[in-house]
Structure 1
Amino acid sequence: MKVTAAIINEANKNYQLEALTLGELYSDEVVVKMVASGICQSDEVVRTGKSSITPLPAVMGHEGAGVIEKVGSAVKDLNVGDQVVMAYNYCGACPSCRTGHPSSCSQWTTLNLSGARPDGSHIFFKADGTPVSSFFAQSSFATYTITNVNNLIKVEPEVDLRLVGPLGCGLLTGFGTVVNGLQPKTSSSIVVFGTGGVGLGALMAANIEGCSTIIAVDIHDSRLEIARELGATHTINSSTEHLGERIAKITGSLGVNYSIDTTGISSVMKASIDVLAIAGVSAPVAISKDSIAFNTFKDLSLTNRKLIGVLMGDAVPQITIPQLIRYHNEGKFPFDKLVKFYKFNDINQAAADSTNGQTIKPIVIMDENYRKEEPIGI
């Protein structure tokens, strides 16, 4: 099958739309006709060369939504025509998977970041036969793709696929980091550093979980305004305000019970620890080459603080994504306020708008005929 895909051929270069060929469909896989995909900063760190987690050339995209076009011979409970959201792949057989923590799958890196299937085979090929890496076993920046059944979450026919792709990564990560990772107590305090898709997903989750003090920190006033709309009780522009003094004033000099860093910037990650109260917990979740230095006794042990790792929100996508759709329908998770839609051939503009802060969550539309009678303003 011939497809059109947005390829990264070299680090720090723009996406190029190219004609590719899909490879063999395995028995536990499906072909998905893509409708839309969110752009996540994980895509951008690979494109810009800040991370080499997946070999190039590659078809990126891991917040996809589409319609099943073909199913493999071993696929059960999914059929041609089903609407699906796509998340990450996992083996389903290791101890982590079998105890409900598939994001801790022992094969997670191989399945999602190696660019190929575990047997080394590829999904995409150029006209000359050159293999092209996949990403998160879905590569949603394409008109059609092949993905594993473990990546898929079936959604109801009335769900608008143009909107829900970002639930597969950024919003899943933010929500799950709060609910599954930090597990905040009712009436506790939390600070979220960075109000992109992950940060605002975390902020909305903190509101759902009953945190009474929810602080959003960013350098973009426009994003902080949205944070207030979504439930932030306080906002701090760290480029114009003194972070430590503001948080001390807000918390009565006690510090916050929980913090999340979504920026990956060394000084911000350190600040997310420094602002913690006694017995506070911090979760850094950004993909970053940066590191931090801290004194384990002074910064952690002396005050009983904890620093935890949370991948993909420690969430089971097949459970959490339908839950997020329900929350959205109930007005509790209004992530539609974060999105802006772009045509597929404007993907480089979408990526640029995300990087410069103009758009919180860009969504590129591959199938403009999907629900054509319901325009979305692209």
Structure 2
Amino acid sequence: MKIKAAVTHGQGQDFTLEEVDLAAAKANEVLVKIVATGVCHTDAVARDAAIAPLPAVLGHEGAGIIEDIGEGVTRFAKGDHVVLSFAHCGHCDNCLTGHPAVCETFNDLNFGGVNDDYTHRLSQDGEQLSTFFGQSSFGTFAVVHERNVVKVDPDVDLALLGPLGCGIQTGAGTVLNKLKPEFGSTIAIYGAGAVGLSAVMAAKIVGCKMIIVVDVNDSRLELAKELGATHAFNGLKTNVVEEIKKLTKCGNKYAIDTTGVPPVVRQCLQALRPLGVAAIVGVTPEMTIDVHNDLMAEGKTMMGVIVPNVFIPQLVEYYKAGLFPFDKLVKFYDFDQINEAFEASKKGEAIKPILRVQ
């Protein structure tokens, strides 16, 4: 079928809306009519650093309605409202033990440009186009393996829900499912973008006594306080490590870095109390840390976190209950404003842009 998609032809090039061909859903796949899709920093990295084969149709925070189902699909029906998330094989040891986010073929299936069976569904003028994260949601339709699909409450505005497939669930899930801070504990969150602010809301849900947010944008710090942060520091104006240790007496027990900026990651580690735990969720380049002083000497833990998609329906319930107002992070753009949306995200003018596709 012919669809409209935002195509990335070369490294660093703008997105262009073009007509492309989408093959029919195969066994265990569904055809989804994309209603809206989030704009995520990972898409920008894929475009600018070419971490997936190009040309490609990017996009990995899709939300839509199932239009058709392939042979063998039993968990979904036409008309279901769904959110799309990352691809995983479903049969490796990690998938079978409940850890699909660290699937042994995660990189192949999400960044390799192919679908679950290692073939392509997207093409243009006879040339194959790469798929991204098993979905390529920067298009009017997507063919997705049923493992990547999460059914959601049809009473909630579907256009809001796409970012739950990646950024928003990452921030919240790191708190609620991985760190699991005790009631009354302290947590520091570095970066007040969509991931960091989602972590703030989750930390408020579990009852952290101190929720400290660090960013360089004062308006985002104000929003962080509105969403539940008890303290907010501008990293350009404050000695963050010194202030956090003064505030907490010996350092915070938990920390999340969403920035991927090496000096900030080091601050994240240095401000921890002895036996503190830091979760790194930002895309971080090669960097150097003082293993003895920043980690080992005080028994600290540093971990990487990726969050599984079964968490999405729980976040929808928190939202409906008024406990997770992630709609405050969102700014909508029309599909043909995709380049504007990415630029607004880069400049900090929009925390979580969402494209209304149709």
User: How far is 1:245 from its partner?
Assistant: 2.4
Structure 1 partner of 2:256: 260
Structure 1 partner of 2:109: 111
Structure 2 partner of 1:287: 283
Query: Which secondary structure does the structure 2 equivalent of 1:48 belong to?
Result: helix
**Which letter does structure 1 place at the counterpart of 2:241?**
G
Contact 2:89-2:116 at 8 Å conserved across structures: no
Matched, 1:135 2:109: no
User: How far is 1:121 from its partner?
Assistant: 1.2
Structure 2 partner of 1:273: 269
| Per-residue CA distance 1:175-225 (angstroms, 9 max, x = gap) | 111122222122111111101111111111111122111011111111111
Query: Which secondary structure does the structure 2 equivalent of 1:278 belong to?
Result: strand
- Give 1:64's match in structure 2, choosing from 58, 62, 77: 62
Structure 2 partner of 1:36: 36
Range with bigger deviation, 83-92 or 63-72: 83-92
Matched, 1:309 2:304: yes
- Give 2:72's match in structure 1, choosing from 74, 82, 85: 74
Structure 1 partner of 2:244: 247
Query: Which secondary structure does the structure 2 equivalent of 1:281 belong to?
Result: strand
Structure 1 partner of 2:99: 101
**Which letter does structure 2 place at the counterpart of 1:15?**
F
1-side partners of 2:185 and 2:66: how far apart? 43
2-side partners of 1:107 and 1:80: how far apart? 29
Matched, 1:204 2:201: yes
**Which letter does structure 2 place at the counterpart of 1:267?**
P
Structure 1 pair 118–82 and aligned structure 2 pair: CA distance change class (3 A): closer
Query: Which secondary structure does the structure 1 equivalent of 2:131 belong to?
Result: coil
Contact 1:269-1:292 at 8 Å conserved across structures: no
Query: Which secondary structure does the structure 2 equivalent of 1:203 belong to?
Result: helix
Q: Which runs of 5+ in 1 are unaligned?
A: 368-378
1-side partners of 2:296 and 2:282: how far apart? 24
- TM-score under structure 1 length normalisation: 0.92
Matched, 1:176 2:173: yes
Structure 1 pair 310–94 and aligned structure 2 pair: CA distance change class (3 A): same
**Which letter does structure 2 place at the counterpart of 1:294?**
I
- TM-score under structure 2 length normalisation: 0.97
1-side partners of 2:121 and 2:199: how far apart? 33
| Per-residue CA distance 1:207-256 (angstroms, 9 max, x = gap) | 1122111011111111111100110000001112221222122112x011
| Per-residue CA distance 1:156-185 (angstroms, 9 max, x = gap) | 221211111110000111111112222212
User: How far is 1:118 from its partner?
Assistant: 4.7
Query: Which secondary structure does the structure 2 equivalent of 1:176 belong to?
Result: helix
2-side partners of 1:323 and 1:45: how far apart? 29
Structure 1 pair 77–118 and aligned structure 2 pair: CA distance change class (3 A): closer
Contact 1:270-1:292 at 8 Å conserved across structures: no
Matched, 1:338 2:336: no
* Count of equivalent residues: 358
User: How far is 1:146 from its partner?
Assistant: 0.6
Query: Which secondary structure does the structure 2 equivalent of 1:97 belong to?
Result: helix
1-side partners of 2:153 and 2:187: how far apart? 34
Large movers: runs of 4+ above 3 Å:
none
2-side partners of 1:287 and 1:130: how far apart? 31
**Which letter does structure 1 place at the counterpart of 2:39?**
I
**Which letter does structure 1 place at the counterpart of 2:29?**
E
2-side partners of 1:143 and 1:223: how far apart? 32
| Per-residue CA distance 1:93-130 (angstroms, 9 max, x = gap) | 2221222111011121111111102543111101x211
1-side partners of 2:72 and 2:190: how far apart? 44
Query: Which secondary structure does the structure 2 equivalent of 1:192 belong to?
Result: strand
Query: Which secondary structure does the structure 2 equivalent of 1:100 belong to?
Result: coil
Contact 2:116-2:145 at 8 Å conserved across structures: no
**Which letter does structure 2 place at the counterpart of 1:308?**
M
Aligned identity (percent) is 45
Contact 2:116-2:134 at 8 Å conserved across structures: no
Q: CA RMSD in A?
A: 1.2
Q: Which runs of 5+ in 2 are unaligned?
A: none
Matched, 1:228 2:225: yes
- Give 1:299's match in structure 2, choosing from 275, 294, 302: 294
Contact 1:110-1:118 at 8 Å conserved across structures: no
Structure 2 partner of 1:27: 27
**Which letter does structure 2 place at the counterpart of 1:271?**
Q
Contact 1:193-1:260 at 8 Å conserved across structures: yes
2-side partners of 1:180 and 1:249: how far apart? 29
**Which letter does structure 2 place at the counterpart of 1:131?**
Q
2-side partners of 1:24 and 1:222: how far apart? 46
